[in-house]
């Protein structure tokens, strides 16, 4: 008979006692027996959070063997893949291997279903038996291994009408375009920082759809390559390459593009630190800043806004919003341009 588990997975926490799996320093990743409310997954691919992978790759000097060594060490010490420097994780693609007795027949999953987990690897019990391939350009790592999805964990079945890696890439950042849909309204001026990346392109498309012809979408990219790519997609009214860690220079660009009115909504999708003040200064006083980036420092954002006398509303990028998986996959279905570029870059 299977042991009874807690809905949120606290039964897997080793230390410190009394905390949830995400902030825990170590969790139990023994997969020999599962609890009655767990789903055992045979893992195929880890999609590492962009901020986390960028950090690990830099620490490894770009060497794939060193990247693998760092990842294995993280899981060995914690029982999960929570980057100790960024605190972020990612998500995974795998096949349902076993369903706990308490969940059997009560969920829309069966053994053999291919799913992407929509909860962070920073709280997911994970065992890596072998790292098979590291695809640094898209932050994906193919492995042999197992993982546990708790009763409270959310997931998406991989759709039949698109390749697995394409769906995984989009689902990894599903919270961003779904939150963009909630925040942007007709006539808004929207600034998207990190607009040329995976989440950025999805947000640009969704933002333009929401603000309509009376609104304006401005895309700030890091490189000339991503700038040109975004410009060709045609989702933005203005696209430019800029350094988001240089807040005063970026503010001056946005002042010119908005005739001094600044952005109603700013969405930050970058994967590097120190871009908080660019987000704040480029947003009007009663505007909204949405920090989807896992590289965001709450302290820098809050104290920085206070320091410049900015009354912006700041939203922490919750990776989950209702319907986010369906919303994001639908974007790839309705926009051929978006699907083509995601297929080229990530599939």
What CATH number has the domain spanning 175-346?
3.40.50.720
What residues contact 198, with CB distance under 8 A and at least 6 apart?
50, 169, 170, 172, 173, 342, 345, 346
pLDDT tens digits for range 281-312 = 999 999 999 999 888 999 999 999 999 999 99
Mean pLDDT of 133-148: 96
* pLDDT at residue 347 greater than cutoff 80: no
pLDDT of residue 36: 97
Give the pLDDT score at 270.
92
Which pLDDT score is estimated for 310? 96
Average pLDDT over the chain reads 95
Q: pLDDT tens for residues 219-254?
A: 999 999 999 999 999 999 999 999 999 999 999 999
Q: Do 283 and 309 meet the contact criterion of CB atoms below 8 Å apart?
A: no
Q: What pLDDT was estimated at residue 317?
A: 83
pLDDT for the residue 81:
98
Mean pLDDT confidence for 147-169? 93
The residues with which 41 forms a beta bridge, in sequence order, are 96, 147
**pLDDT the model gives residue 157:** 94
- Quick one: how far is CA 14 from the chain centroid? 27
Instruction: Report whether 11 contacts 55 (CB < 8 A).
Output: no
Every domain of the chain and the residues it spans = 10-158, 175-346
What average pLDDT does the segment 337-342 reach?
95
pTM reported for the whole predicted model: 0.86
């Amino acid at each position: 008979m299977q042991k009874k588990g807690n809905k949120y997975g606290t039964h897997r926490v080793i230390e410190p006692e009394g905390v949830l799996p995400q902030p825990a320093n170590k969790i139990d990743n023994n997969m020999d027996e599962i609890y009655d409310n767990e789903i055992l997954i045979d893992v195929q691919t880890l999609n590492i959070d962009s901020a986390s992978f960028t950090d690990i790759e830099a620490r490894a000097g770009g060497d794939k063997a060193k990247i693998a060594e760092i990842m294995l060490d993280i899981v060995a010490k914690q029982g999960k893949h929570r980057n100790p420097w960024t605190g972020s994780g990612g998500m995974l693609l795998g096949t349902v291997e076993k369903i706990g007795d308490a969940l059997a027949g009560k969920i829309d999953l069966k053994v053999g279903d291919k799913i992407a987990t929509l909860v962070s690897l920073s709280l997911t019990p994970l065992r890596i038996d072998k790292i098979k391939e590291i695809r640094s350009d898209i932050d994906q790592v193919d492995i042999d291994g197992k993982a546990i999805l708790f009763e409270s964990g959310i997931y998406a079945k991989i759709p039949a009408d698109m390749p697995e890696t394409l769906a995984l890439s989009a689902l990894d950042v599903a919270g961003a375009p779904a939150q963009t849909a909630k925040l942007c309204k007709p006539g808004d001026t929207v600034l998207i920082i990190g607009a040329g990346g995976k989440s950025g392109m999805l947000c640009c498309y969704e933002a333009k759809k929401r603000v309509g012809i009376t609104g304006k979408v401005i895309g700030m990219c890091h490189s000339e390559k991503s700038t040109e790519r975004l410009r060709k997609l045609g989702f933005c009214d203005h696209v430019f390459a800029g350094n988001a860690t240089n807040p005063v220079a970026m503010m001056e660009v946005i002042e010119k593009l908005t005739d001094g009115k600044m952005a109603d909504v700013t969405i930050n999708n970058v994967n590097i630190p120190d871009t908080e003040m660019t987000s704040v200064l480029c947003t009007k006083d009663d505007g909204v800043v949405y920090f989807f980036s896992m590289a965001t420092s709450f302290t820098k954002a809050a104290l920085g806004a206070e320091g410049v006398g900015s009354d912006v509303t700041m939203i922490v990028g919750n990776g989950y919003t209702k319907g986010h998986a369906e919303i994001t996959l639908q974007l790839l279905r309705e926009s051929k341009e978006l699907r083509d570029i995601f297929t080229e870059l990530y599939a």
